[in-house]
Each structure stands twice: as C-alpha cells, then as structure tokens.
Structure 1
Amino acid sequence: MRARHLICYSLAGSFVFTGCDRTAPAPSETPPVVVIPEAPVPAADLTHSVVRVNTTYQAWNPGQPWEKLEPRQRRSLGAVLKNHQVLTTAEMVADSTFIELESSDGRKLTPATVTAVDYEANLALLALDDDEFSADLEPLDLADDSKIGDELDIVQIENSGLPLITHGLIQSMDVVSNFLPGQYFLTYELKASMQTAASSFTLPALKDGKLAGLLTSYSSSDQLSDITATEIVRHFLADAADGDYVGFPSLGISTAALDDDKFRDWLGLDPQTGGIYISGVLKGGAAEAAGVQVGDVVTSIAGFEVDPTGYIQHPIYGRLFWSHLVRGAQPVGATLPLEVIRNGEKQTLEATLTRRESSLVPLHTFGEAPRFVVKGGLVFQELTRDLLRSFGKEWRDNAPLNLLEAYDNPEAFEDRMDHVVFLAGVIPTPATIGYESLRNLIVTEVNEQPIRDMKSLAQAFETVPANGLHTIRFDDQEVPIELDESVSTVVDGQLLQRGLSRLSRLE
C-alpha cells in the first residue's frame, strides 16, 4: 500500500490533525529525461547476493478475535548482507508463522528468524544459521545516498534462476507511507519499466552494485516504483547492530500548513515568514518536553528553514518535507534545535528526540493475539488500527466517526483510558435481546467502575450488583444498557459448548 503524505498529518509525531485534506504540492524539481529499456536486461553476477524469502503468515480474525484467519503465503527477494543477514520488508514478516530462505537457483532451503523489525519504516532483518546455505553468498555493501537523476537497478529472479536487472532513474523524492498509514519515510521514486517475474513482492534496488534500498510498490500504468531510501536503510541497520533495536524517533506534534493567506493574517505572520503551525502536542513527547505549545509556528528545524507548505531545501535530496529531519535523519536521543514564533516573538527551543508514542490505539498488533471479552453475547474489543482497517480499503471513510476520533486525536481520551475498549458487536442470545443492533460504542464505565483497558473491564464484570444487573455506559450515550448476570452466565457456557474457543483474552 502506498500513500503520499497530507500536509496536515503529523509526519514526525504520533497523532494527526484532520482539519484539512489537501495533498502536499509536488517537489519543484524538473524530472530528468528518462530513457527506459524495452525489457530488463540479463545479469549474471547477482545470484549469490540475493535470496528468495518465503513466508507463511496467519493473522487474527478482526471480527472474531478468538480465532485466526486461514494461513497465507508471500514470496519476495531479499538482499544478502554481512554476518549471515538478509534485508527484507516488515510486511513480509508480519504475522509470520514460518520464514524460509531459498537460494536463487532453488536448490537450497533454510529457515530464518527475525532479528529486527520496524513496521513503521517497513524494514526487517533476518538471520540464518546455516553455514552450508551461506557458504556461497556474497554480501552487498550499502550504497551512498542517492539524488534525483541517479540510476538504480531493480533486481528480479525468474523461477528458472535467471536474474534480470531493470534500469531506472530517480525522478523525485518525497516522504511516503507504504505500509502503515500515517508513517512517512524518505522514498525514491524511480521511473522504470518492469516486467512480471517471480519473487516480486519486494525487490532489492542497487546503485553501482551496492544496496540502495528496497522496492515497496510499483505502478505499471505510470511505470513508477517506490524505493525505501538508503538513509532509512542505513539508520535501521545501525540501530539493529547491537541486537537492541529501538526504532525511529518522533517529535510528538500534529501540524497544519501555513499556505492559506487568511490563516497567516490571523496569526500575524508577514509574507516572508514560512513554517508549520502546531495544532497539537503529544503529552510526554519530545516536543512537550522542549516547551513547544499549541499555536506555535516552527520556522526552522535543525537549521533548515521551513517554507509555508512545510518543505525544506535539503543539500542532497532537494525540496523535501520537513518530517525527514526527525524521522530518518536523526536517531533517538539526538538534540534538534527549533526556531519558533510564539505570540509574535521569536524563540529558540531544543528537543531531545524520543520514541514516545500514544498507546491508546496501537498502530499495529502483528504477532499479538487481540484482547477481548465476550459477556452474555456482548463482544468487547480493544481498538487498534488493524480493526479500523477491517472496515475496508476506504476505512477512513467507512469506519465509525467515534472510533476514528479516538485514533486521530488520542489526547482527548488519554486522561480517561489507557486503551480504547469498545462494544464491537452482539451475538443474539437470550441475554442480549434488544441489543442486537448495538456496535462500535466506546465503553466508559461498567458497574460505576471506569474502564481503562480490557483488564479493568473483566474486573468490573466480576463485581455483581445486588440487583444482578450489570450497568454498562458508553461514551456520548446518555442511557446505559443492563446485562443480567445469571442469564449471561448460562449463555457464556452455551457459547463455549457451541464452538467458541474462549470467552476472553486479557494479555
């Protein structure tokens, strides 16, 4: 999945400002003239520097969290690195139950384990412990950072073992979301005409015989490929080198562009002043610790002046969105100087970058079993981004507004709850008569006990009121519902007898 950023999204924070929906302007550089070969050309010297990655994965059923979906398989091409390591995408290892590496000629197979994974940047590092398999492998070195106009080579391997190389030129650069929505990282956009070939889910991209990045998407109609930038790969590998992967930092802000003249006039900004408007600050994040406040205008980050659309002029990449200065150019713990305008006065702040993220609605739950409680036929779950995605490809348009509000604006909920527990659905039973149409309601109290997570919900149901009726209250709903304890207990036993594997999962 591939998406360009929206200016109003928090690209270096952990929540978003949804007051606008304009896409950011395209970079101003004139794309170079691109000459595309009619077909990929054969290559004979890369068969020992790439391996096929075969993955079996099995996700949990979002609608029935007590069971898994059918297992599925993916196949890609990974890049061989030093120390018996293979680089692939996080998408390849998500919810994996078995990962196998296969030599390019198909003659050798060996299992692999994940040593580091970053679902936000869509990168994963695999390790193999098979001397016979790795004996003939030739590790790739990492290339230097690329710029617009540089040529990259996309590597493919046919089922026959024949390697193919597709040449292309970097047409532009931008920060792009290619796996997890709202997570944007520096990406090369490559103009190249590729053909369908085996192991094409993810492909290595080379520059002068060295690894430049990984292909994460390809549009056959536009002949454009998205390549994770070398700088992002280098950051990931350096972080993973000590065996204790931390991840990319965040600033913890939500922002809006300043390209609207009326908005600028309201803020009292002169025509020459650029910057980004701070519309939200994550509690406990790097920006809050640095003293950034809602209403500030950040005009400079790490010495780079920010224009009214949120772009900076990078010495290598050209015109680039500001978020790369946080997520990609710096490690956790780095100090980032910020120039801000507050109430018409200029100030200099220093932010120490951290990994503080809102846990209210997890961005992903790969490899984790979903937490839930079934009580009398009422099905309660903790809200995750994966659950929101179950509303379809256009989940941002189809998902309930109250659940999207919790996802987009966690700061409005974090004082009341640690995770969002909501009534996901109702199984028709004698205990739920009249409640069959209820769903997607955020739970705030059960038996006058505040609900902060799934554990607190289960504990609240353990306290049976004197009248035998559990009282359940929901956010933005004045009238609570009641659930008969004696009837629901009988129903729970019947649900287990009829095939429900369990009634809860709290961890």
Structure 2
Amino acid sequence: MTINLRLLAVLSLLCLSCTLAAVEELESDPRDSLFKIFTVATKPDYQQPWAMQRPSQGTGSGALLDNGLIITNAHVIADATFIQVRRHGQPERHRVHVVAVDHASDLALLRPEDESILADMVPLTLGELPPTNSEVIALGFPTGGDSLSTTRGVLSRVEHRRYAHSGYWLLAAQIDAAINPGNSGGPVLHQGTIAGIVMQGIGNADNIGYMVPAPVVRRFLNDVANDGQFDGWPAIDLTTQNLESPALRSYLQLAPGKTGQRVMRLHPHSVAQGIIRENDVILAIDGVDIADDGTIELRMGERTHWAWAVQRHPMGATIPFDLWRDGARITVEVTLSKDREDNQLVPGQRFDVRPDFYVYGGLIFTPLTRDFLASWGREWWTRAPRNLLGYLDGIPDEGDLREEIVILMRVLPHRVNLGWHGVNNQVVEAVDGETVQSLAHLVQLVEEGEDPYVVFAVGQGGIMVLERAEAVAALAEIAHTYRLPADRSAGLQSGE
C-alpha cells in the first residue's frame, strides 16, 4: 500500500509538472489573464413573490478577452447583487458589472468599474474548436483552495445536450480534465487560444466535465458586439419524427437516397406556420443535409442534432428549408424571428428577474413558471402539484391564444374570502366568463369589471366568487396583516 501511494504521488507530481510545462511553453502565460470571481446573490422567493430569499455567496472563474471584457458563466453571476473579481496572483478585489448575459448558453460578460486594472494584462483570444482527442488545458479557481488550478485533459466528444444551468438543448463539448465547483467560467485552452468555457461537471463521474464550445461562445460574442446585447437563440418550434422505418418512408413517398425528418406538429405560433406543414419532410436546412436519425454533420466524422442548423444563425436571419412534400422537393424560406422562449406558456428557469404577482381579496395570483414549480425543492418534478406539472414542455392547442398560464397560488385567509382558505395551486381559466390571457389581462378584467361579484373559473370547472366592494375595502387590512409591500409586482404597477 505504501509503495502504491508513493507511486500515485509521483505520478500526480509528474502530471502537474507536465501541465505547468505545457502552459509555460506558450508565448504569454494565460494564467495572467485569469480572474477569480466573488458574488453575493439574492434569489426571489416564489412562494412569497413579493419577498427575497437570504443572500448567498459564491465564487467562480473568468478570463479577460481581447474585447476588454471578462467572460464567465451566466450561472456564476445569476441573481447577483454584488460582484467582485481578483486577478490571479494579486490580493485586491475589484467591483465589476454585467455587460451582457445569456442564461441559455450559460455565458456572461463583465466590465470592471476601474478598467485600469486591465492595463498590463494580456487578453486571451477565442480560437476554434479543436478535433476530438486533442489535448486541452482547463484553468480556474475550484473550491478547496484559493489559488489558480491548472488541469490537463482531452476533448472527448462534441454533441447536443441539456445545459445544467438553463435546461436548454445546445451544442456542448465533453472533456476529461478535472472540473470542480469554482472552475465554472474558466477558459479551456488549446494551443494558447480559448476552445471553450468550463460549464459543468458530473458529480458521480470522475474527470468528466463539459464546456461551452467555441462555436457557441463565438455566436454569443458576435451577437453582443453587434448591438450590445444578446438577442437570443432562434427556434422554429416544431416537433419531428425519425425516418428510419422503410414503411414510413414509402408512405411519405420519399424518394430513394433522400433523408430527413417528418414534421409531426407545429406550435400554433411557430415562425414556420403557413410555410412548413405537418407531414412535410425536412431534407436540409440552409444547405445542411439532415439524416433519418435527426442528426447533421458538424465536422467530418462528428454529428449533432439538426437544431444546430438553426441555432448557429442570428435572430432575424432568413434561411432556406428544403422540404419533401407530395412526392416532390421544394424550397421555402423561414425568418428566424422568435427566441426559444417566445412561444412557451410555461417559461424555463429564469434569472435576474422577480416574479409577477397580484393580490385581490387575499387571493394571490401569479404566472406559472418553472421557477415556481422548482420552489418545491429537491426533485421538485415529483413533489410539485401534478395538475401544474402537466403544462411543462407541452404544445398548446391551435386555438389556445394565452400568453401565459395564470394560477391562484394560495389564499391569505380573511373574512372576505371565507370558504376559499384551502384553495391553492389552481389554474385560473376565466374571470367573469372571459378567458384569461395573462396576469396583466386578469388584473384588467378584475379592475374594469362592474358587476358586484367577481367570478373566477378555476381548475376543472370550479368557480370562486368574491364580492367586489368588500374585496377592494379589505386590501389595507390584508396588506397590514400579512406585511405586503404592495398588492402587485412592479411591472403591473407601471402598467407594463
């Protein structure tokens, strides 16, 4: 055992020496471009949407780019109220502010208040994504120590996967360099340039981590450089089916040698409505052929999901789709004018925003969001109300014109709402017989109504009734009793 431990120690030292030697061989030391990031974050309390949770502190990593900004992960600075950075090898911390952020791709850019701290630093340059099995070096400040960590590994594979921070389906790269909490936001280098940004590790696996690959980083940086903000990842909002069944191909009259994806259903508000139809076969997008298994060629010998053929384009671009329809090949054009979230009735996880709410007669209304469901804690998808979980990731019916789903989250007990004290987590379908399109619409319906009673249609055919005058008169007492700062969120106060 002693011999094995000594051998392990020697091998570890040799590995560290090789990694440091690889860094030192570069023209400039990339470690001098690194920052440790310190944050104080305060998240909203979705069970009490007018309140905030207790502040928490965190750390991450970042690197200076040649545009004079510091790149890091969005999850490092998510919901942050105060951010500081410290240069590698120096003791002082410096205040920074967020310039741009994209939570979908887990990327953010920071600018120091005092830009003179960058004067003698050599920035890093974004390079290309190297071939798989190429050697890479991950730099960062993992927890367990205060100094910079340098680890060596290889680029294992490149493919689409769910980003842990946002749940978004996007191109990612797997590396086998050791990744630990605190490494997030640090650069992954190949031959002295950035091949990607450390994103996440896998807790139950040794030396398996993921980085945001250079093509995704470049798409983010180019978009921000264009107008100072990231405009989003375009989506066409349709579901497709693989064409690996010979019988299905024959049914669709697909010619031999043609491959693609059958369109199963379009979102009612898809940008492709009226252009692409159900049962069309998408053969290619912007000249990129789609295989029967739904993949496209990323590079020679590497494939990924066909969504990348859309995602690689900026918002507003118009691109050609080659379709197989009624036994013939046609080409149509689609303008990518909507972000992935534009058509979602239940928004994905959101950051840096506070939830909307409205209190009327002690009834608390709020939009249904993934963050609200996640407030049920660990494994929320098994603990949150089942009647609400069913709305996740679904495509609404064609006639469903709602902008969002509004729920009655719970009731603040008061004499004005006797009989309804136990009602909670119910979808509000209508107010006074009119379908609710959004929380702002619900407020409008309630406050513009003239009938002495307000009737809320909730759940599966139930109704809740309040006397309008009594509900209005009870506001001050309810606000005092339950320490409500206001009866509605800031956006609804300003009429936004």
TM bucket by the smaller chain?
Answer: 0.7 to 0.9
Aligned residue among 288, 303, 310 for 1:326? 310
Shift of the 434–274 alpha-carbon distance from structure 1 to 2, 3 Å rule, reads farther
1:77 aligns with 2:61: yes
Query: Which residue matches 2:262?
Result: 277
Query: Which residue matches 2:478?
Result: 495
TM-score with structure 2 setting the length? 0.85
CA distance in 2, matches of 1:108, 1:189: 34
Query: Which residue matches 1:379?
Result: 364
CA distance in 2, matches of 1:156, 1:183: 24
Q: 1:36 touches 1:193 (CA, 8 Å); kept in 2? A: no
CA distance in 2, matches of 1:255, 1:495: 50
Shift of the 69–266 alpha-carbon distance from structure 1 to 2, 3 Å rule, reads farther
Q: Residue type of the partner of 1:425?
A: R
Aligned residue among 293, 298, 313 for 2:282? 298
Aligned residue among 134, 150, 153 for 1:150? 134
Gaps of 5+ in 2: 1-10
Query: Which residue matches 2:8?
Result: none
Aligned residue among 156, 159, 162 for 1:171? 156
1:478 aligns with 2:461: yes
Q: Residue type of the partner of 1:350?
A: E
RMSD: 2.9
Shift of the 162–381 alpha-carbon distance from structure 1 to 2, 3 Å rule, reads closer
Q: 2:139 touches 2:187 (CA, 8 Å); kept in 1? A: yes
Listed as ranges, the matches of 1:1-400 within 5 Å are 40=16, 41-42=19-20, 45-157=29-141, 162-179=147-164, 181-193=166-178, 199-219=182-202, 221-242=205-226, 243-259=228-244, 267=252, 273-288=258-273, 291-316=275-300, 318-327=302-311, 329-356=312-339, 357-358=342-343, 360-400=345-385
For residue 76 of structure 2, give the secondary structure of its aligned residue in structure 1: helix
Q: Residue type of the partner of 2:231?
A: V
Query: Which residue matches 1:20?
Result: none
TM-score with structure 1 setting the length? 0.83
Aligned residue among 413, 417, 428 for 2:402? 417
Shift of the 227–469 alpha-carbon distance from structure 1 to 2, 3 Å rule, reads same
1:432 aligns with 2:417: yes
CA distance in 2, matches of 1:371, 1:362: 13
Q: Residue type of the partner of 1:104?
A: H
Q: Residue type of the partner of 2:293?
A: T
CA distance in 2, matches of 1:395, 1:386: 10
For residue 307 of structure 2, give the secondary structure of its aligned residue in structure 1: helix
Measured against aligned partners, the alpha-carbon deviations of 1:23-49 in whole angstroms (never above 9, x if no partner) come to: xxxxxxxxxxxx999854445633321
Q: Residue type of the partner of 1:389?
A: A
Q: Residue type of the partner of 1:50?
A: L
Measured against aligned partners, the alpha-carbon deviations of 1:115-171 in whole angstroms (never above 9, x if no partner) come to: 111111111111124243112321001112222111111113478764332111111
CA distance in 2, matches of 1:292, 1:73: 48
Residue 432 (structure 1) shift:
3.3
Q: 2:196 touches 2:213 (CA, 8 Å); kept in 1? A: yes
Between 175-184 and 76-85, report the one with greater CA deviation. Answer: 175-184
Query: Which residue matches 2:4?
Result: none
Q: 2:137 touches 2:177 (CA, 8 Å); kept in 1? A: no
Shift of the 157–460 alpha-carbon distance from structure 1 to 2, 3 Å rule, reads closer
Q: 1:119 touches 1:179 (CA, 8 Å); kept in 2? A: no
CA distance in 1, matches of 2:101, 2:114: 21
Q: Residue type of the partner of 2:331?
A: T
Query: Which residue matches 1:455?
Result: 440
Between 371-380 and 428-437, report the one with greater CA deviation. Answer: 428-437
Instruction: Give the structure with the larger helix fraction.
Output: 2
Greater RCO, 1 or 2 (C-alpha within 8 Å, sep 6+): 1
Shift of the 315–379 alpha-carbon distance from structure 1 to 2, 3 Å rule, reads same
Q: Residue type of the partner of 1:219?
A: I
Residue 179 (structure 1) shift:
3.8
Gaps of 5+ in 1: 1-34
Q: 1:285 touches 1:354 (CA, 8 Å); kept in 2? A: no
Between 230-239 and 93-102, report the one with greater CA deviation. Answer: 93-102
Q: Residue type of the partner of 2:154?
A: L
Query: Which residue matches 2:431?
Result: 446
Residue 203 (structure 1) shift:
2.4
Q: Residue type of the partner of 2:163?
A: N
CA distance in 2, matches of 1:275, 1:413: 25
CA distance in 2, matches of 1:308, 1:181: 28
Q: 2:42 touches 2:79 (CA, 8 Å); kept in 1? A: yes
Residue 267 (structure 1) shift:
4.4
Shift of the 208–53 alpha-carbon distance from structure 1 to 2, 3 Å rule, reads same
CA distance in 2, matches of 1:368, 1:314: 35
CA distance in 2, matches of 1:83, 1:164: 25
